[in-house]
A and B are shown apart, each in its own frame.
Chain A
Amino acid sequence: MKSYPAFARGPVHAWRRFFGIGETELVPQARLSGPMPWVIAIMVALTVIASAAGLALRNTAQAAAAELEGGITVQIVEAAPEARKAQAQASVKRLQETRSVVSVRLVPEQEVNSLIEPWLGSGTDSTPDAEIPVPALIDVRIDREVTPARLAEIQDALGKVAPSARIDAQSTWLEPVFDAIESLQWLAIALIVLLTIALGAAVLLAARTALGTNRDTIEIVHLLGGTDRQIARVFQRSIGVDAAGGGAVGLVLAIVVIMFLGRRFASLGAGMVDQGALGWFDWLLLALVPVAAVVLAMVTARITVMHTLRKML
């Protein structure tokens, strides 16, 4: 038995108590040598990755929604180039006079051509000699959310100056994308719930196994006057230490994976993907996953052990 200087005894005893050394080491502590911490590490890593995916999707959806909110696209679908050009200019002028409109931009022909180039190839233009007429595009932004009623108002306003105008809320184009993102978010949540249940089940099995393995020791401690709470504390601390170790490993592993995937997605250069980048609050939430795992593991262990001990005299 080691003897410590008087000034060090308090911290040493606190340290020994927390890590189950000495008076609380009633059951052998495996400390990262058994399967439990690694199971927890895998669970935490998967949960953090699933959470990061969910958060990134949420960020993407929020950013896209914010960007598209108030966005309207006016297409002048007119085969005759001159009439198309005249209607486009009249529409721009009419829209600029509309009170709720914040900005109006007639998309240059070169930009329109480059937008459709991946589908129709180069050389397509809206000049009089072009074989394929391309609609003129006007990007409009209003100072409020686009509703069917507001769309109808603008449609009415443009109807007189540009009979070939077709008006769409930009958000409607991305509705299927938003639906897909929402589905993926639910999938991420479902994964997190399943992983949480799996973690709880793993801890429950580990606690029961540990109880069975240490049954003799527990009986001795019982007969020496140990209470259920004392014994439960030992197990919950033991599993808590395992969960903390496993959680830390899992978090590091997950961060490596997230950083790697983040770089790969960033290199795509797609605007929508870039907007899914995680903020500091997201990282804070992810850092809480192993903490939640430790709490879940300790609570599960305590409930399991207390339930089992109540069957003893």
Chain B
Amino acid sequence: MSQAAEGEIVHFDNVGLRYGTDREVLSDLSFTLYPGSFYFLTGASGAGKTSLLKLLYLALRPSRGMVRMFGADAITLPREQMPALRRRIGVVFQDFRLVQHLSAFDNVALPLRVAGVPERDIEKPVADMLEWVGLTDRIAARPATLSGGEQQRVAIARAVIGRPEILVADEPTGNVDPDMAIKLLRLFEALNRLGTTVVVATHDVHLLKKVPESLIMRLDKGRLSDPTGALRYPPRRSAVPAGDRP
């Protein structure tokens, strides 16, 4: 594993992505994400936001270019080393992708169980996390019996339970009312303050104003623009000191 460039958590260099033999849905993406930063990924429907997020949470490999995650070359990384990398990434899927036959508790506990955390060390953190997202009374409910907003919160709780170094959220407020959208955004901010890099894909321009310190990545027809210049010239932010991390 190569040494990460100082302070970077993700680095894309001239990345392109195509599905099959179609034209590229993402072209010439070059950017770096830094620890403790909050990014909004915006763009019209079909601009390639979800495809870029899939590259970020290692669901896809690019067709060309270089992707470095946590200092490792994600393209040449042996397959058996991918799970360890994925465990450092939290994902909120656009369609939640909760496991339908598991309860809210078991869905949230899934990343910990996958990581091999002993059962005795799972119960309390998961209960606390569900309390944090206001679902204590729905702990045993299965996804089919939860409302859209509740499923969204379970998905978020599942994404953050493992204290990921980077949180990737695809339209996390797309299915909830404005009040819940603000509440969820506050959750992401709280996590960001604890040191997690947050990338939120959204087409809701009003949401961008709610997090003043956020950096904006804009996709247009598969190409990245940098309206604030923050990707090319990132502000000097100090990552949260290790001692303050939970």
Chain A residues proximal to chain B, CB less than 8 Å: 1, 3, 9, 13, 16, 22-28, 216-217, 219-228, 230, 310, 313
Contact = CB atoms under 8 A, between A and B. Distances in A.
Given A16-B119, A220-B99, A313-B61, 6 more contacts: A1-B139, A22-B113, A223-B58, A225-B114, A225-B115, A226-B114
Interface stretch (B10-18, B103-111, B202-210): B103-111
Interface stretch (B22-30, B81-89, B180-188): B81-89
A223 B95 CA distance: 14
B64 interface: no
B5 interface: no
A227 B106 CA distance: 18
A226 B83 contact: yes
Given A1-B123, A22-B119, A224 B111 contact: yes
Given A216-B97, A230-B114, A313 B59 contact: yes
Given A1-B105, A23-B113, A216-B97, A223 B59 contact: yes
Contacts of B120: 9, 13
A217 B99 contact: yes
13 contacts: A1-B139, A9-B119, A13-B120, A22-B113, A25-B106, A219-B97, A222-B86, A223-B59, A224-B111, A224-B114, A225-B87, A230-B114, A313-B60
A261 B227 CA distance: 85
Contact of A223 (B84, B91, B127): B91
A227 B91 CA distance: 17
A217 B58 CA distance: 16
Contacts of B47: none
A264 B120 CA distance: 57
Contacts of B87: 224-225
B57 A223 contact: yes
Nearest to B99: A217
B105 to A, nearest CB: 5
Main secondary structure of the interface of A (DSSP, over half): helix
A216 B101 CA distance: 12
Contacts of A16: 119
Contacts of A26: 99, 110
A239 to B, nearest CB: 17
B80 A227 contact: yes
Contact of B84 (A13, A25, A219, A225): A225
Contacts of B91: 223-224
A80 B95 CA distance: 105
A1 B136 CA distance: 11
B110 A221 contact: yes
Which 8 A-B residue pairs are closest in the complex by CB-CB distance? A225-B87, A23-B113, A225-B86, A226-B114, A225-B83, A28-B101, A227-B83, A224-B111
B114 A221 contact: yes
B132 to A, nearest CB: 16
Nearest to B59: A223
Contact of B110 (A9, A28, A224): A224
B102 interface: yes
Interface in B221-236: none
Contacts of A225: 83-87, 111, 114-115
Interface string B52-92: 00000111110000000000000000011011111100010
